Structure 1
Amino acid sequence: MLEVIRIYTNSPLRNFSYIVREPETEKTLCIDPFDSSQISKVLSAKNWDLDYILNTHEHHDHISGNQGLVREFGAEILAHPNAMTKIPNASKALQEKERILSNKDSSSYLEVFYTPGHTFAHLCLLQMEKEIPYAVFTGDTVFNSGVGNCKNGGDPETLYTTILEKFETLPGSVRLYPGHDYFKNNLRFSLNIDPKNLAAKTALSKVESLKENEEFWTTSFSEERQFSPFFLAFRPEENLVQGIKKSTGNESIPSDPKSLFLALRSLRDKW
């Protein structure tokens, strides 16, 4: 089974970086390195080398640790084809459905899938264990109780399609590894839209009980679908629909999933 280490960067944007290790081949990957020295310390403590860097997309806070890690370890930088000219020293364009960090019998690996919306050079990684989806590294596409913005090279309608086709269909047991810790603020937004969402209230209490900047709740998609308004929009209940209409001041918003999702994304941009 792949070993995953989540690193909280304590940056203003509350980034997560991840180290993923395949124990049989001893190949090691860093996803979205923010601070090369912080990651190097973790690798040194484990006595691990670093073979690959994967950037989920081209934004600076997801590639800022690249240079230091390449200099120290000579790691190969992997990225979406559209990011190859946007990420300095990116050396390999990954294809959709490509497998990386596979074990010897190919029962454990990371599978690449393209996830446009936040940018058009975004990809995510699905962790497969014994051919069963186990977790997903989502960069800035899906957050706890939220989704990525589309302000810097993205498109909300494209993001909606990505969430619908790539994430709404994932088994509920799949664990979520996002690129940032926005959980608390996202839950407060959720409750601002739908104050009667008991699952969001319970989740917020749980998140607030954790040790700040040290403890993090790894949710499953079945949990996210109970309190994230962006997933609830696919099966909208009246409280959510009315909350969106009230928040936008537009009673004529259609109650289909796409219209609600786009309204939520616009509201979250201003909240």
Structure 2
Amino acid sequence: MWSYQHSNFTVHQFAALKDNYIYLIDAHNSGALIAVDPAEAVSISRFCKAHDRTLTHIINTHHHWDHTDGNKALKQKFGCKVIGPANDAHRIPAIDIAVSEKSPPRIAGLEITVLQLPGHTSGHIAYVIDDALFCGDVLFGAGCGRVFEGTRTEMWNSLTRLAELAGETRIYCAHEYTLANLEFAQTVDPSNGLLVERTVRTKQLRADHQPTIPSTIADEISTNPFLRPLNAEFCRYYASLRGVDANPEKVFTDIRDRKDRF
């Protein structure tokens, strides 16, 4: 487990399954204890037992099983409220409260913003709490989610919305994919010095069995190949090499297609 301090809460991070992360938001000024995308129940249950705490809420970003498999067991054990996207409510196990941008969750002591981010799935959402972003499978360290149910246009629009957040916003995504993503990024953006530096840091972290997440919005804008199309100079460079339109969305689409084949 790793822990990160924010002004109003602490985020506890647990490795799960092959490469998932589960997060536990521990509010400072209330008894709220919130699991984010519990792929399984064991990690959260052990924490609660060790610290004599009760899980009060679960928040899900989307319906995929490796984000929701712990819902039923945790709800049965703790009686916690399960919160998930309104557009995906019928596919969220044990859901109690459906939320959207217009109807965000109300949890004592925390101000939570919901962002609707279709692309990976049709109903995918993210939660922003102060300077923390819980984004499921939309944005990864140096990567983004596959487009399963939405369109590439929807995914691009979702990523650009996240890029508008403050640069210091910490990104708590749901998978440890960063090193593999950086290998692909080097084939897209080989002259990017910041990308080279990030790769060195990431290799050292993984060698030390440390997570590469959270990253920040600023890190992703400067090194993530799926956000680099926001940079006009990069778009021109990439378009000239690949023979595509220098339009940011067109460049993103070409990069996403390449990653699917990588």
CA distance in 2, matches of 1:127, 1:263: 33
CA distance in 1, matches of 2:169, 2:35: 20
Deviation at 1:243, TM superposition (A): 5.0
Aligned counterpart for 1:202 among listed residues 197, 200, 210: 197
Is 2:233 the counterpart of 1:237?
yes
- Contact 1:33/1:64 (8 A) holds in 2: yes
CA distance in 2, matches of 1:197, 1:100: 42
Is 2:113 the counterpart of 1:111?
yes
Is 2:183 the counterpart of 1:188?
yes
Indicate the residue corresponding to 1:137 in structure 2: 134
Indicate the residue corresponding to 1:3 in structure 2: 10
User: Structure 2: which 5+ residue stretches go unaligned?
Assistant: 1-7
* AA matched with 2:231: R
The runs of 4+ residues in structure 1 deviating greater than 4 Å are: 240-246
RMSD: 1.8
CA distance in 1, matches of 2:239, 2:54: 49
CA distance in 2, matches of 1:150, 1:93: 23
CA distance in 2, matches of 1:244, 1:184: 25
* AA matched with 1:115: L
Indicate the residue corresponding to 1:69 in structure 2: 74
Indicate the residue corresponding to 1:256 in structure 2: 247
Aligned counterpart for 1:268 among listed residues 255, 259, 262: 259
CA distance in 2, matches of 1:8, 1:245: 41
User: Structure 1: which 5+ residue stretches go unaligned?
Assistant: 129-133
SS of the residue 2:230 aligns to: coil
Deviation at 1:126, TM superposition (A): 0.5
CA distance in 1, matches of 2:156, 2:171: 18
Deviation at 1:3, TM superposition (A): 1.4
Indicate the residue corresponding to 1:146 in structure 2: 143
CA distance in 2, matches of 1:204, 1:235: 20
Indicate the residue corresponding to 2:60 in structure 1: 55
Map Cα deviations across residues 60-94 of structure 1 (whole Å, 9 max, x no partner).
11111112111211111111112211122211101
TM-score by length of 1: 0.87
Map Cα deviations across residues 154-181 of structure 1 (whole Å, 9 max, x no partner).
22111111112x2121111111111111
Indicate the residue corresponding to 1:101 in structure 2: 107
Evaluate the alpha carbon distance shift between residue 139 and residue 92 of structure 1 in structure 2; reply closer, same or farther with a 3 A threshold: same
TM-score by length of 2: 0.90
Aligned residues between the structures: 253
CA distance in 1, matches of 2:68, 2:166: 30
Indicate the residue corresponding to 2:37 in structure 1: 32
- Contact 1:22/1:101 (8 A) holds in 2: no
* AA matched with 1:48: R
SS of the residue 1:56 aligns to: coil
- Percent identity of paired positions between Structure 1 and Structure 2: 25
* AA matched with 1:2: F
- Contact 2:24/2:36 (8 A) holds in 1: yes
- Contact 2:40/2:68 (8 A) holds in 1: no
Is 2:168 the counterpart of 1:177?
no
Deviation at 1:223, TM superposition (A): 1.5
- Contact 1:244/1:263 (8 A) holds in 2: no
Is 2:224 the counterpart of 1:228?
yes
Is 2:103 the counterpart of 1:88?
no
Deviation at 1:245, TM superposition (A): 6.3
Deviation at 1:23, TM superposition (A): 2.3
Evaluate the alpha carbon distance shift between residue 91 and residue 267 of structure 1 in structure 2; reply closer, same or farther with a 3 A threshold: same
Evaluate the alpha carbon distance shift between residue 267 and residue 62 of structure 1 in structure 2; reply closer, same or farther with a 3 A threshold: same
User: Quick check: 55-64 or 193-202, which moved more?
Assistant: 193-202
